[in-house]
Amino acid sequence: MGQGISQSAFGPEDFQRFQARLSEETARLADWFHAGAFARASGVGGFELEGWLVDRQGRPTPLNQVFLERLADPLVVPELSVFNIELNTPPQPLHGTALRRMHANLDSLWQRCQRVAAGLNSTAMLIGIPPTLRADDLRLENMSGQARFRAINEQILSRRHGRPMELTIHGQDSLNLTHPDVMLEAATTSFQTHLQVAAPEGPAFFNAALAASAPMVAVAANSPLLFGKRLWQETRIPLFEQGVALAGGEASDDPSHRRVSFGSGYVKDSLLELFEENVAHYPALLPADLSDEPPERLPHLCLHNGTIWRWNRPLLGFGQDGAPHLRIEHRVMPAGPSIPDAIANAAFYYGLVYGLARSRPPISETLEFAHCRANFYAAAREGLLAEVIWSKGRCLPLRQLLLEELLPLAQRGLRALEIDPADSRDYLEPIAARIASGRTGARWQQDFLVKHGPDLTALTLAYLERQASGRPVHEWPC
């Protein structure tokens, strides 16, 4: 959910004060990089999983406040809309039975969520965008009550001089609409993986995460519909990018420096480059007064970083001993289709990014950044049917690349991490089956509509039934 703040209205002096503190904290962060002050531990993984609350007809239901009160678990928190929740589980060192522990922790928490939801005559749902979602659901009255969310909405609209959001997405159908606020973002629920890295390894792992973005978004695609329109395989990508666009309110008109973007290039020397880019290219959006927070936690830097939604984002954290550490947040995957699918996605990502980070020569030297970025949008649009340009300028079908090179590379990555061999096999097997069959969550939804007709309620209820079975999506019947 990000840092909480207590105010949602700001004056010019707030921006000036915040900018000064942001610059001071960025300079302090630079000193930490130069002094080698970060925790040296790496290979620690975690994730955030966003979900929906829906009624018995599969329609989003605005119950997250009472749901969270009844659940009373700090690992489950509100998201932007009153339909959404976010689940967190304890991070795990990535070796041994880490994947199985992740699975057990998430499944236990998910079952508790389902029991609480059932007591409210509803159910929890994991999907990128619910087929039954309507534009009218995303009105400002359905925003969660946190000041942070209100402030983001007010500041983005202020930068846009009150102009509504403009959304244009072309797929099998086309969608063109305007929306008066940032609530379009609430439609985009995701599965965000975190990976702690030692500072010297930061560039290799960040660049690997960039290269992994195209295969990951294709394998995990689960958002083919928005407001009844058949759009991209992973429609979350253009929806989120356009749903919070400042449209001229940034310091630069360069698309690579928009609030939601694939980024401006590979990291060269350290992750510090991204935090410095935050100061140089992104004016403060939430200039809250955080002077009551411990200054050694760099609260203004962390808050500012949380308002820049790169698809791969550096994060600064602190251990129980107060030592700072660095994480890479990979944001391209949607929620769902099932708990086993989510853990399989995490397993594939951790293995793939570890394998790519250890590749020689580095992937950043063999895959041009422009191709890396183009691959990502092609994969979000076409899914497993995309063609990509890979290392050394090779153009090939993404499914071929996945089966012949990337899946074996992920297997080697998990082996190098000393993940239990049986777990590596069990969690990569659904990925291999998805690739071979072409049956992602997005493809299952599309196939269901072809077979049963354009009944979005029937689609959603069938999806919920199959999700509840606990079977991975490649085994779901249409």
SS (H, E, C) 67-103: HHHHHCCCCEEECCECCEEEEECCCEECCECHHHHHH
Question: For 403-457, where are the E strands, in sequence order?
Answer: none
Tens digits of pLDDT across the chain (478 residues): 466 676 777 999 999 999 999 999 999 999 999 999 999 989 999 999 999 999 999 999 999 999 999 999 999 999 999 999 999 999 999 999 999 999 999 999 999 999 999 999 999 999 999 999 999 999 999 999 888 999 999 999 998 988 999 999 999 999 999 999 999 999 999 999 999 999 999 999 999 999 999 999 999 999 999 999 999 999 999 999 999 988 654 544 577 789 999 999 999 999 999 999 999 999 999 999 898 899 999 999 999 999 999 999 999 999 989 999 999 999 999 999 999 999 999 999 999 999 999 999 999 999 999 999 999 999 999 999 999 999 999 999 999 999 999 999 999 999 999 999 999 999 999 999 999 999 999 999 999 999 999 999 999 999 999 999 999 999 999 9
CA separation for the pair 337, 467 (Å, rounded) = 6
Q: Strand runs (DSSP E) across 152-302, as ranges?
A: 165-170, 174-179, 190-197, 225-226, 229-230
Per the listing, tokens 């092609």 go with 378
- Number of alpha carbons in the 13 Å side-chain half-sphere of residue 217: 34
pTM across the whole model = 0.96
Q: Please state, in angstroms and rounded to a whole number, the distance separating the CA atoms of residues 419 and 326.
A: 22
Contact (Cβ atoms closer than 8 angstroms) between residue 36 and residue 336: no
Structural domains of the chain, with CATH: 12-473 (3.30.590.20)
Distance, in Å, from the CA atom of 453 to the CA atom of 225, rounded to the nearest integer, reads 14
